[in-house]
Amino acid sequence: MIWYTLLIGAVAVERLAELVVARRNRLWSLAHGAVEAGQRHYPAMVLLHTGLLAGCLTEVWAAGRAFVPLVGWPMLAVVMAAQGLRWWCIAALGRRWNTRVLVVPGMPLVTSGPYRWLRHPNYAAVVAEGIALPLVHNAWMTAVVFTVCNAAVLTVRIRCEDAVLATAGAARIDHVSG
């Protein structure tokens, strides 16, 4: 269980790194005339993602979940792949990537990197990680609760982003992390 706690800690540190990047990019976007949308659902998103990490640790430690190698190792590979996809999204969007929905007027839609194939590739990473991270150490209740709640939050979030894209014309929202 110690190594799983270290894994969750590493993911938490990675999330903090994302927030540093997001803050820097938000300041850049605002300096370039960005307009923010979706402020009302943002706190729910933060709470949900914080809850995922806390839930993973709480369930494993409190319920004494055992590591099941047949499930745990493949799920760890999915978690690593999700991190790779997330950072590919961040690299593809550059300064326009953010945890918030920001519109920088006149910016073209990003169609490189994973955006060549998927409209919201970062959310594919979020969904994969939300299922896999708890299952690395058999925290199946956390995986189920997060997945259901995340589906609700992503429904709102993606509708918000798509509406902004539709009204922004050629402008590109600063894509988000999950």
CATH code at position 71: 1.20.120.1630
The total number of structural domains that make up the chain:
1
122-155 tens-digit pLDDT: 999 999 999 999 999 999 999 999 999 999 999 9
Sheet containing strand 35-37, edge to edge, reads 35-37, 101-104, 172-174
Rounded to an integer, what distance in angstroms lies between the CA atom of residue 98 and that of residue 178?
10
Tens of pLDDT, residues 29-71 = 999 998 899 999 999 999 999 999 999 999 999 999 999 999 9
Domain that holds residue 36: 2-174
Given CA atoms 150, 47, 91, 131 in this order, what sign does their dihedral have?
Answer: negative
Rounded CA gap, 41 and 46, in Å? 9
Identify the weakest region by mean pLDDT among 44-48, 65-69, 117-121, 166-170: 166-170
CB distance 27 to 33 below 8 Å = no
- What is the value of pTM for the model shown? 0.90
**How is residue 66 written in tokens?**
């055992």
**pLDDT, position 108:** 84
Task: Give CA–CA dist 153/126, Å, rounded.
Answer: 12
